[in-house]
Amino acid sequence: MGNVAVVGAQWGDEGKGKIVDWLSQRADVVVRFQGGHNAGHTLVIDGVTYKLSLLPSGVVRPGKLSIIGSGVVIDPWALIEEIETLRAQGIELTPDNLRIAENATLILPLHSRLDKVREEARGSARLGTTGRGIGPAYEDKAARRAVRVCDLADQRTLEDRIDQLLFHHNALLRGMGAEEIDRDRLLSNLNGIAPKVLAFAEPVWQRLDEARGAGKRILFEGAQGAMLDVDHGTYPFVTSSNTLAGHAAVGAGVGYGALDYALGITKAYTTRVGAGPFPTELDDEIGRGLGERGREFGTVTGRRRRCGWFDAVLVRQAVKVGGIDGIALTKIDVLDGLKTLKICIEYRYRGVGYSHLPAAEEIQAGVTPVYETLEGWSDTTRGARSWADLPAAAIAYIRRIEKLIKAPVALLSTSPEREDTILVHDPFLN
């Protein structure tokens, strides 16, 4: 039995929530290891929809321990609101089944204020951030002036941290003509939320070490996708953390040897939300149709996602850079009824062919996709739970994807429902 890291292999929104939920029945512990509440996961279980942003997808399963690692940036008010929302839906969340890293960085109102002001100042050059303060919080973490969960337990430390932060942030806000942050109000709000957050806080690395020692299976859950990784994504149109499986060990607080299998979640087509390059984007009836059938709206922001054909070049690069062992292919049912399908197999830029997406921003924005055309299928794949239920053309499409991205399909998702999943290879049995 091994431990599995689940990561996105495109630009996020690949359906990680359902896959993590489905895999969590085989796991004992589920750990979220990076990102913030800009990432959304939607779970549909017995017709009930659960929308998660910060909480690991395993929280909806009884008897599982869920952990938010130190690699996550946490908005304490958003966290408590999410906990209370799930409780209202009948999900039990207590310190017995949810723990938060005491050394995780907090997102404060000043972070979202700065995020929105800077994005507005960029005008047409906006990055497409959610405005929730994720980037500024990671900036403060790297600059060693962040407020962390453990600081909520010590008033003197908390006040010192806030003073350091406001010295920096209020100067930036003044410079951009924005309203400054009131120190006393911020401290009062933090002191009000502190007991609710601290009830879940602990050194989770110890908890994970104990779990490993007891032979328990751990599922590491990532947010966003490989092409939004701050190092390996379509920079600067990226998130502010490392989204690849290799970061799971750091963001959770375990040794690198704890990761046994990296599962990359991949849609049967491609989507992207916000700004940035998108070689296979379809600004036509087919693209709009994919968006409508796939319900391509952001879980957190509600923004419409851009849609396009499957990009094998992009996913192959994510497989190689991210050390992905196998993929979970999702939303194959959205392609039902299309007479022909296309897969991007190469890029062209100024007469030069590329088998990868170069790092240069100008080339990323200017590449033209080279397509291979495959036969579509008229029968439905929705709700299929075995290969025998799939049309022959759908199987041929899946096999072609496997060959092009150089990774096998371990799981196939045929609807948002938990049980509409075909298991090809159990990642825990690697």
- Given a contact cutoff of 8 angstroms between Cβ atoms, the answer to whether 330 and 413 are in contact is yes
Which residues have a Cβ under 8 Å from the Cβ of 192 and sit 6 or more positions away? none
Pick from 187, 177, 172, 225: which is nearest to 35 by CA? 225
Contact 150, 201 (CB under 8 A): yes
The Cα 150–Cα 157 span in angstroms is 10
Annotated catalytic residue within 13, 28, 115, 229: 13
Position 335, amino acid? L
Amino acid letter at 325?
Answer: D
DSSP state of 417: B
Say which amino acid occupies 124.
S
216 Cβ neighbours under 8 A, 6+ residues apart: 28, 29
- Is there a catalytic annotation at residue 41? yes
**Residue 353 host element (H or E):** strand 352-354
CA distance 330 to 337: 17
Residues 6+ apart with CB under 8 A from 316: 356, 404, 405, 406, 407
- Number of Cβ atoms within 10 Å of the Cβ of 249: 20
On the 0-12 / 13-18 / 19+ scale of CB atoms within 10 A, 65 is: buried
Alpha helix (H) residue ranges in 229-357? 247-252, 285-293, 312-322
Other C-beta atoms closer than 10 Å to the C-beta of 174 total 11
Of the listed 37, 41, 111, 247, which one is catalytic? 41
Question: What tokens does 296 get?
Answer: 């391509």
State the Cα–Cα distance between residues 133 and 105, nearest whole angstrom: 12
Structure tokens at 287: 């693209």
| 356 is known as an active-site residue | no
Residues identified as active-site: 13, 41
